[in-house]
Amino acid sequence: MKVGVARDGTEVSQHFGQCEGYAIFEVENGTVVGRTDIASPGHSPGVLPALLAENGATVVIAGGMGPKAVDLFCARGIEVYLGVSGSVEEAIALFLKGELVTSANVCSHDGHDCGHEH
């Protein structure tokens, strides 16, 4: 399994589409066995979900994400966890323990809440 975490530096990014990059964790038997960091190519509709899918992500973690991106991930069978904050390392550790705390999607566009959460 591969888990993609939207990041800004060492922290979980609060906006998936405007983040610095993505940490892609390779997980085997509940343990991280590898990590690859990829830079964001910039915000363009549909590009980022495809990028993470091409890098093998089956789970994506972020603070917030627009509804179109959520729908694109869901269409590919990729689970989305939103409302996550804190360090990237802490987020992946909590995810692996089944203790990742999610909350409302912190992303909003044009003044309305995206309305997606896991």
∠ Cα 105 69 86 (to 5°): 40
72 in any annotated domain:
yes
Confidence of residue 116 (pLDDT cuts 50, 70, 90): very low
pLDDT of res. 109: 43
pTM: 0.87
Q: What domain count does the chain have?
A: 1
Tens-digit pLDDT profile for residues 47-69: 999 999 999 999 999 999 988 88
Domain of 76, in residue numbers: 68-80+94-118
pLDDT of res. 28: 97
**66: its two tokens:** 């627009």
Q: Which residue has the tokens 């566009």?
A: 109
Higher pLDDT, 42 or 56: 56
44 in any annotated domain:
no
